[in-house]
Amino acid sequence: MSYQLKPWHEIPIGSIVPEAGSSKINHTGSWRMLRPVLNYDKCTHCLICWIFCPDDSIPVSPQERFETDFEYCKGCGICAVECPYDALEMVPEMEIKLKELEEELG
């Protein structure tokens, strides 16, 4: 029995995100182990983080970056790696959750 390869035009496209924001259907932020924390003092609003974000979870205006939408951010860290100003730091999600809980309890 021999195996015959499919012609190129019959092979399904893989490893491609066909449109930005395709994760908007699902709240994928619960997958996150690391959270990007923005240092506003270092941020120049160059928007490079927005360009590279595969989840479209960084809302922007024409000249300004806003806080990450954590409902959808998966914590991949691409934004932090690509930031030329080191304005983003990937922090373990558990550390942030514990700090929020401590503040809530007083």
User: Is residue 8 assigned to a domain?
Assistant: no
pLDDT score for 102: 93
Q: What is the DSSP string of 18-34?
A: -STTGGGGS-GGGG-SE
Region of 77 please: left (phi>0), alpha (psi -120 to 50) or beta: left
Could you tell me if residue 96 is inside a domain? yes
pLDDT(69) > 70: yes
- Decide if 14 is inside a domain: no
Query: What residues make up the domain containing 41?
Result: 30-105
State the CATH number of the domain containing residue 55. Answer: 3.30.70.20
Task: Determine, yes or no, domain membership for 64.
Answer: yes
Specify the pTM. Answer: 0.71
Domain assignment of residue 20, yes or no: no
Look at residue 44 and tell me if it is in a domain: yes
- Mean pLDDT score across all residues of the chain: 85
More confidently predicted of 16 and 92: 92
Per residue in 11-63, pLDDT (tens digit) is 767 766 666 655 566 778 888 999 999 999 999 999 999 999 988 889 888 77
User: Percent of the chain having pLDDT more than 90?
Assistant: 52
For the chain, what is the domain count? 1
- Residue 106: its pLDDT value, please? 80
